[in-house]
Amino acid sequence: MRRAAALLAAFVAMATLHTWPLAGNIAGLSRLDNDDTGLNVWIIAWVAHILPRDPLNLFNAPVFHPEPLTLAYSEHLLVPSLMSAPLIWTGVSPTTVYNLLVLAGFALSGWTMCLVMMRWTGSLTAGVVSGLLYTFNAHQLTRLPHVQALHMEFFPLALYALDRVLTAVQSTGVRSTEVQSAEVQ
């Protein structure tokens, strides 16, 4: 547990370093020079606004009025919005929340890949290198306006879960042909 917490702290430090000077002035800086960032900041604020009031109208965002279901025209950012909604509810500005989501996306993505690769290889070095390469690469570092592209922390977890299922099936000795022949009978 301590190692996992130390690794998370290391990936937070790497996210801070790779996005500097953003972390140095989290409430005062932003990439709002890009329309995608402005849209994503607005979507995060919209989701935090509508969920406690009228969750069934989440996709009826007040854009392109009177057209219904307009949030479906773009990414709904539900997971990052849920992660950050408590901050918005306590009065943190949507732009600051977006900046925190950028840092969290980098840190959590690298951390989860690191943990999965450590589990698979048994090597701390392999885990750290994998986490760094997975997260801090040219593709990811040029995607700051797209918070949805930075939150890749669930992909390594999905791969790990699939690996666990396949390993469990393999350890029981059941092969797909045996399962199919059992279903036919």
Residues 40, 98: contact at Cβ < 8 Å? yes
Mean pLDDT of the chain: 91
Over 60: is that where the pLDDT of 179 sits?
A: no
**pLDDT grade, residue 34 (50/70/90)?**
confident
Over 90: is that where the pLDDT of 175 sits?
A: no
Mean pLDDT confidence for 49-55 = 96
Residue-wise pLDDT tens digits, 118-142: 999 999 999 999 999 999 999 999 8
- Rounded to whole angstroms, the Cα distance separating 63 from 135 reads 33
Looking up tokens 């593709």 gives 139
- Rounded to whole angstroms, the Cα distance separating 124 from 6 reads 12
Which one-letter DSSP state was computed for residue 126? H
**114: closest CA among 183, 12, 17?**
12
**pLDDT grade, residue 181 (50/70/90)?**
low
**pLDDT grade, residue 67 (50/70/90)?**
very high
Residues 69, 59: contact at Cβ < 8 Å? yes
pTM for the structure as a whole: 0.85
